[in-house]
Chains A and B, each alone.
Chain A
Amino acid sequence: MSLKRMVVILVGFYCLMGVMPLFFGGTDYIMNILIMILIWAVVASCWDVIMGFAGIFSFGQVAFYVVGAYASAILSVSLHVPPVYAILLAAVITGLFGVLVGLPCLKLAGPYVALVTFAVHMTLVPFLRGPMGRAIGSGGAQGILTVPPVSLFGMTFSSEHLVPFFYLTLFLTIICTIILVLVIKSYWGTAFLALKDSENFAASLGISAFKYKLMVFGLTSFITGLFGALYAHYVGMLSTRMLSMDVFTILMIMIVIGGIGKYPGVVVGAVITVTLNQFLAPMGMYRPLIMGAIVVVLVLFLRDGLVNPIIRLISSRQKAGRTGEYLS
């Protein structure tokens, strides 16, 4: 997608989101949905960058999110680090963790990367629940129940103060979106695409797979960790339920709806998925069934996601309209 079209979609989306509290500021239920849309939009975007652009089938995105959340919670609860610094430190820790996970993946391809990264995801549950987790302050099976809210410039940002927290999240979301767009459209993005298409050819033209693959692991896990940490201070409590397949599936649906590697389609995917997930909540056990069915239908019939076919349709109609003008 061209930079111009990408910017138009993103600016439109964030402007729309920015005015939402004017209408729904008093409705906690909707404000909560809007905050979660912003958080998941960035986390899913990071997954799209690593999987869709760099072609690395990392299934560690939820793990990075949880590492960020726990790191910030442990720093602020056990070590009494002020939440703002804890969030930033947690992002750095997650970034380093991402690089560490990326290292063994450098020699692997496709499904093997998925296996290694998903293994990291799977090992986090016993780690956080077990004695090692408890030793570092994870709270074991009970989790962490008293994560303090963010305080900045005399204001408190938490689930008790939804409008300020929404704008804090929006601010961070916009910053991270700008970073992601700049990366995608810079020579970094070109290197990611080249490595995804043909690693041998890319290397023969001077692209270091080592450097750029680690970069993408580091960057996406840093941003994901940042938003995981923000989430921890938003909800105030954490447990290993965050690592359930439910969360993983929801994140995957966002990407499938948006189209893998079709950024910023994934942002729209986050809006649809988070909203749908909330509205389907009363359906209980049938909700994951419906969500799973959506993935199957989309993969079978709309591999490019929902957003790109719509954009193509609009473009082709505009072109057809112009052709009609020339002919008349």
Chain B
Amino acid sequence: MLKVDGLTKKFGELVAVNSLNFEVKEGQIYGIAGPNGAGKSTVYNLITGNYRYEGRIEFDGQDITGLPPYRIAKKGIARTFQVPEIFPSLNVQETIRVGSRFGARGGLDKKHSDEVLNFVGLEEERLQHAGLLNLLGKKKLMVGAALATKPKILMLDEPMAGSNAGEIADLMDLIKKINQQLGITVIIIEHFMKVLTELTETLLIIESGRMICCDRPEIVTSDPRVIESYLGDSYAEDK
């Protein structure tokens, strides 16, 4: 469904992403992990057209290389951000409808927007200003707005960051529902290995913009290269 081929991004002398290749299959939950500064969020920014890059990205059989972010959104690739991005001027319902009005094919679908609002569990906050939501609410709102675009792929950037155990469980349930009930392919960047091993079918580990390993989570977490460069010995011992 999403094929990344030879993806390379340089910021001056720094090679943030270096000849990265991977493929996400339809219906998968695909994980991406790696140390801080490994280039994970940059990969998202490249796929969603925020930066120019070398290489080729194919989505749903179409070449989407070099398309601007708003056109990528309309193609069916939605994303969230590591630090929640919201529209403080709009309320929850209006924010969800922005996704539907501008991102979905066919324009504003109020019924679908209301369904999304219920799906992410923000129906009681529908008229609340987005800026007044707590962190979990803001994350759910980002996911809701992304779902309102009727995406084929949802890319989540560290959705669990800053969440407590209860919120993590809540968000994991939401991600499973998105994948299983809505049939949306999910890519997730995350540091919590427990979340990745429980949710994902394939896990890609990158370091300094290069792929170290890509396989099933149980194989990846046992790989000596991954333990050495990312997980550490204590993780292997605990395991």
Contact = CB atoms under 8 A, between A and B. Distances in A.
A206 B71 CA distance: 6
Interface of A: 187, 190-191, 193-194, 196-198, 200-210
A312 to B, nearest CB: 15
Interface in B61-82: 68-71, 73-74, 78-79, 81
Contacts of B217: none
Contacts, number: 78
A185 to B, nearest CB: 12
Given A190-B98, A202-B87, 13 more contacts: A190-B90, A191-B98, A194-B98, A198-B86, A200-B81, A200-B85, A201-B81, A202-B102, A203-B70, A205-B78, A207-B70, A208-B68, A208-B71
B90 A197 contact: yes
B86 A205 contact: no
A202 B149 CA distance: 12
B73 A203 contact: yes
A190 B69 contact: no
A204 B78 contact: yes
B88 interface: yes
B98 to A, nearest CB: 5
Contacts of A208: 68, 70-71
A207 B90 contact: no
Contact of A191 (B68, B78, B81, B102): B102
Nearest to B108: A187
A205 B142 CA distance: 10
A203 B102 CA distance: 9
B32 to A, nearest CB: 17
Contact of B87 (A187, A197, A206, A209): A197
Interface residues of B, number: 31
B87 A201 contact: yes
Given A190-B98, A191-B102, A206 B73 contact: yes
A204 B89 contact: no
A209 B71 CA distance: 11
Nearest to A197: B87
A202 B86 CA distance: 9
A204 B145 CA distance: 10
Interface in B42-56: 48, 50
Interface of B: 48, 50, 68-71, 73-74, 78-79, 81, 85-90, 94, 97-99, 101-104, 108, 142, 145-146, 148-149
Contacts of B68: 203, 208, 210
A205 B89 contact: no
Nearest to B45: A200
Nearest to A207: B102
21 contacts: A187-B101, A190-B90, A191-B102, A200-B50, A200-B69, A202-B87, A202-B98, A203-B68, A203-B69, A203-B70, A203-B73, A204-B79, A204-B81, A205-B73, A205-B99, A205-B146, A205-B149, A206-B73, A206-B149, A207-B98, A210-B68
B101 A201 contact: no
B189 to A, nearest CB: 15
A203 B74 CA distance: 10
Contacts of A196: 89
A209 B101 CA distance: 15
A193 B146 CA distance: 18
Contacts of B71: 208
A190 B94 contact: yes
A306 B86 CA distance: 28
The 8 closest A-B pairs by CB, nearest first: A206-B103, A201-B85, A203-B69, A206-B102, A197-B87, A206-B73, A193-B89, A198-B85
A190 B102 CA distance: 10
Contact of B98 (A200, A205, A209, A210): A205
A204 B48 contact: yes
A196 B68 CA distance: 18
Contacts of B50: 200, 203
A204 B90 contact: no
B159 to A, nearest CB: 15
A193 B90 contact: yes
Contact of B90 (A194, A200, A209): A194
Contacts of B90: 190, 193-194, 197
